[in-house]
Structure 1
Amino acid sequence: MKLSEGVEWGLHCVTVLAGLPPRATLPTKALAEYHGLSETYLAKHLQALTNAGIIESLPGPKGGYRLRRAPEEITMLEVVEAIDGREPLFRCAEIRQRSPLTQESAQYRVPCGIHIAMARAEKAWRDALRTQTIADIVSHYQQSTGEQRLQESAEWIAGRMRQI
Structure 2
Amino acid sequence: MRINKGVEWAGHACALLVPLWPDRGLPLSALAEFHGLPEPYMAKQMQALARAGIVSGGRGRSGFYTLARAPNEITLLDILLAVDGDEPMFRCTEIRQNGPCGSKPADCKVPCNIAAGFWRAEEAYRARLAQVDLATLAGAVAAQLGPDKVSQAGDWIGENLRSRS
TM-score normalised over the length of structure 2: 0.94
Shift of 1:60: 7.0
Query: Secondary structure in 2 aligned to 1:56?
Result: strand
**Greater mean deviation of Cα atoms: 146-155 or 136-145:** 136-145
TM-score normalised over the length of structure 1: 0.94
Do the aligned partners of 2:24 and 2:66 also contact (CA within 8 Å) in 1? Answer: yes
- Structure-2 change in CA distance of 1:35 and 1:58 (3 Å): closer
Structure 1 unaligned blocks of 5 or more: none
Distance in 1, Cα, partners of 2:138 & 2:158: 17
Do the aligned partners of 1:62 and 1:163 also contact (CA within 8 Å) in 2? Answer: no
Q: Deviations over 1:103-133 (max 9, x none)?
A: 3322101111110110011011000000100
Distance in 1, Cα, partners of 2:131 & 2:33: 30
- Structure-2 change in CA distance of 1:24 and 1:98 (3 Å): same
Distance in 2, Cα, partners of 1:30 & 1:14: 13
Do the aligned partners of 1:62 and 1:162 also contact (CA within 8 Å) in 2? Answer: no
Taking only the aligned residue pairs, the percentage that are identical comes to 41
Q: Name 2:26's counterpart in structure 1.
A: 26
Shift of 1:143: 1.9
Structure 2 unaligned blocks of 5 or more: none
Q: Name 2:3's counterpart in structure 1.
A: 3
Distance in 2, Cα, partners of 1:132 & 1:22: 20
- Structure-2 change in CA distance of 1:60 and 1:123 (3 Å): closer
Q: Deviations over 1:33-54 (max 9, x none)?
A: 0000010111011000000000
Do the aligned partners of 1:6 and 1:45 also contact (CA within 8 Å) in 2? Answer: yes
- How well do the aligned residues superpose, as a CA RMSD in angstroms? 1.5
Q: Which amino acid aligns with 2:7?
A: V
In the TM superposition, what are the counterparts of 1:28-107 in structure 2 within 5 Å?
28-59=28-59, 63-107=63-107
Q: Name 1:123's counterpart in structure 2.
A: 123
Shift of 1:141: 1.3
